[in-house]
Amino acid sequence: MTTTKRLGKQTVKLQYPPSIISTASIVGKKEGEGPLKDYFDQILDDGYWGEKTWEKAESKILRETVIKAVTKANMSLGDMNYIFAGDLLNQCIGSSFGIRELEIPFFGLYGACSTMAESLSLAAMIIDGGFADYAVAATSSHFCSAERQFRFPLEYGGQRSPTSQWTVTGAGAVVLSNQGNGPYVTHITTGKIVDLGIKDANNMGAAMAPAAADTIFTHFEDTGFIPDDYDLIITGDLAQIGKEITEDILQKKGCNISRQFTDCGLKIFDNKRQDTHAGGSGCGCSAAVLAGYLYHELTKGSLNKILFIATGALMSPTSSQQGESIPGIAHAVTIQNTLG
């Protein structure tokens, strides 16, 4: 049996594109002081949000974001057939502890900072396949919990390198339906692991950029689209350095995306004013920007067709301590207001 939905090597064209019927985003104080502050549903006053630990706070952020997204769709949690979610913490405890009380069938995902595109891809495909009517895609991260796990305790006071990025405290959730008036998820290009040997854990942009470029280039090869078919091409968590490397790699391949290209890590913070060095990162970065800014601009009509590419560094503290390189991954999703 030959599938009729595959395009090229890594892309699928959904036969029954699901509609995004609602979104929600909750972010931390620093994110709420950035350029996109008016697009988020809720801005927190502190990193604990009434919890005893940062990890518990992250779980609460994810849980409340999911509840808010479902409520905004005028639906109940019991209406949701599946939830796809992940985070940066060991064994994805941010997600699993966050949604354990919601009683929604759960697929836990780990794609590092690419997880929002991964969850959105799988939720869309499961609806397109007729296995669900409604599904939630969600992702979270927290600056303090990520620092504790991947780098140094905050109390250490280590100096950050110019190439380092600031992990976003926040979450985004998207509710997908087999009914609706758009925006629609129409194409999905699933990335493959790309590893060029980068080992600097303080330079995530350089580690993820080759994977981003590979997925973007493959997307255009598979679909026959060109950059001008999109109003916006936006990566998730490359920030300034990774964005520049991605753009350079693609230009050398004859693919110029400079007119449409930006990055969620550059949109969410004012790097100079907020001192975030290279820019934002973390699962919550692309998730909050998608669920806040991008969804708003799509529904308003300011954007009609976008390519959303979340990028991830598939590392762990153990792999870094053992001298391993940092593999990168990137998944691309086409979101558009009209079909045909």
CATH fold of the domain at 12-177: Peroxisomal Thiolase; Chain A, domain 1 (3.40.47)
pLDDT of residue 333: 98
Q: What sections of 129-263 are H helices per DSSP?
A: 143-150, 204-223, 239-252
DSSP string, 65-111: HHHHHHHHTT--GGG--EEEEE-SSGGGHHHHHHHTTT---EEEE-B
Query: Residue 246: which of 283, 275, 274, 219 has the closest Cα?
Result: 219
Helix (H) or strand (E) run with residue 6 in it: strand 6-7
The pLDDT value given to residue 117: 97
pLDDT lower than 70: segments of the chain: 1-3, 144-146, 148-166, 276-279
pLDDT of residue 279: 64
d(CA 17, CA 81): 17
Question: Looking at residue 157, what is its pLDDT?
Answer: 47
Q: What is the pLDDT of residue 297?
A: 97
Greatest CA separation found in the chain? 58
Residues comprising the chain, all counted: 340
pLDDT of residue 218: 98
CATH of domain 184-336: 3.40.47.40
For the chain, what are the domain ranges?
Answer: 12-177, 184-336
252-286 residue pLDDT tens: 999 999 999 999 988 998 877 777 665 677 888 99
